[in-house]
Chains A and B, each alone.
Chain A
Amino acid sequence: MFDLEPWSSILDIAAGVLVIGGALLSLAAAVGLVRFPDALSRLHAATKPQILGLILVVIALALSVRNWAVLLLLTPVVVLQMLTAPISAHMVGRAGYRTGDFDPDTLVTDELAADVAGAGRSDLPGAAEPSARREGERPSADPSGETPATP
């Protein structure tokens, strides 16, 4: 359709740069896995290359091959990853919250804790948190005071 022959070297270099970008995102996720303290922080780092790194490498492959049929084959890769990565991140985040594998002091807000306390689930880690974290605005009639799970 288009005559891409004069652009081939530029497109190849662009493909190489995009591949390096995807690899750097993967390296950032790996460094985050090692450096971050708890599971939810590591989950935040780990979800970066799943979408953006994959998109970069797929664009690099499309620029390198320069074929419309290949682009048609590469689209389901990105679409499937975009459909499934949020589900797995949600499930792992829920697992990390329920096993208490995070530091409650590092949270800006914990909206799930109020729901957990309202549901009467005192066995979950978020149940005893509103009374433990916010000393200034502690409600007097807090029903979730029996199990101080926070250290």
Chain B
Amino acid sequence: MSILIAIAGAILAIAALVALWRVIRGPSIVDRVIASDVLLTTLILVVGTEMVANGHTRTIPLMVVLAATAILGTVSVARFVTRPEGTDTATTAASAKPDSTGKELS
């Protein structure tokens, strides 16, 4: 049992580090948002895994709050990126374009 939980913890740690690498490196802001979403999901899984490992239920409200508020940052950044016409859509798209083309260079 504890060996299984330890293996799961190691896998979750690797997943969180890889997602963090994509947050840091991610060429465009959309990639960073997706990677931070994966990082938050991994965090929820870590909270649940820790409760399974230690046999308590004290952090279930933390899981509820994280699951309910994970949408806020993602949607706000997505709304910022796809701002409608008339505002600075051109500058946002133009600032995202060189990043996405620089992905192949690096």
The 4 closest A-B pairs by CB, nearest first: A16-B4, A30-B18, A91-B78, A84-B71
Given A30-B15, A61-B52: A100 in contact with B8 (beta carbons within 8 A): no
Interface of B is mostly: helix
In the bound assembly, the distance between CA atoms of A80 and B61 in angstroms comes to 12
Interface of A is mostly: helix
B18, B19, B45, B79: the one contacting A22 at CB < 8 Å is B45
| A65 part of interface (Cβ distance < 8 Å) | yes
Looking at A50-58, A106-114, A128-136, A139-147, the stretch in contact with chain B turns out to be A50-58
- Are A30 and B38 within 8 A (Cβ)? yes
A-B contact count (CB 8 A): 200
Chain B residue total in the interface (Cβ 8 A): 57
In the bound assembly, the distance between CA atoms of A3 and B67 in angstroms comes to 32
- Are A22 and B34 within 8 A (Cβ)? no
Min CB distance, B21 to chain A, in Å?
7
Interface residues on A, range: 35 or more
User: A residues within 8 A CB of B33?
Assistant: 92, 95
A22, A77, A85: the one contacting B63 at CB < 8 Å is A77
Interface set of B (CB-CB < 8 Å, partner A): 1, 3-5, 7-9, 11-12, 14-16, 18-19, 21-22, 28, 30-31, 33-35, 37-38, 41-42, 44-45, 48-49, 51-52, 55, 57, 60-61, 63-64, 67-68, 70-71, 74-75, 77-79, 81-82, 85, 89-90, 92-93, 96-97, 100
- Are A80 and B64 within 8 A (Cβ)? yes
- Are B100 and A60 within 8 A (Cβ)? no
Interface set of A (CB-CB < 8 Å, partner B): 9, 12-13, 15-17, 19-20, 22-24, 26-27, 29-31, 33-34, 38-39, 42-43, 46, 49-50, 53-54, 57-58, 60-61, 64-65, 67, 70, 73-74, 76-78, 80-81, 84-85, 87-88, 91-92, 94-96, 98-101, 121, 123
In the bound assembly, the distance between CA atoms of A77 and B63 in angstroms comes to 6
